[in-house]
Amino acid sequence: MTKEEIVSAIKDIIHTIAPDEELGGLDPQERLRDQIELDSMDFLDIVMELRKRYGVNVPEDDYKELASLDSCANYLHPLMQDKELKLSV
């Protein structure tokens, strides 16, 4: 999976968790929590959905690596290179 596909996957997961949030204008370098309403439970849901859809386990110490779309793509790319994009739509 490319970094662009990983960003699409993260946006799709966020849309599943917070369907009322507008994701089209997200700044990929800005923290997600500064742009949309995500509480700690929503964030855990994102991590759990990554595990469910892609078999990717993110250790709690690495949660900070998922702060922005860019940091998500950079952190997850080596873990998801051989995965296929799965969108819920």
Q: What is the pLDDT of residue 88?
A: 83
pLDDT at 89 over 70: no
What residues contact 37, with CB distance under 8 A and at least 6 apart?
18, 21
**What is the pTM (predicted TM-score) of this model?**
0.92
Structural contact between residues 53 and 33, judged by C-beta atoms closer than 8 angstroms: no
Q: Name the CATH code of domain 3-80 (choices 1.20.1560.10, 1.10.1200.10, 1.10.3720.10, 1.10.10.10).
A: 1.10.1200.10
Residues 17-69 have pLDDT tens digits of 999 999 999 999 999 999 999 999 999 999 999 999 999 999 999 999 999 99
- Quote the CA–CA distance of 8 and 13 in Å, as a whole number: 9
Checking if the pLDDT of 82 tops 80, the result is: yes
Domain boundaries, the chain: 3-80
DSSP state for residue 67 in the 8-state scheme: S
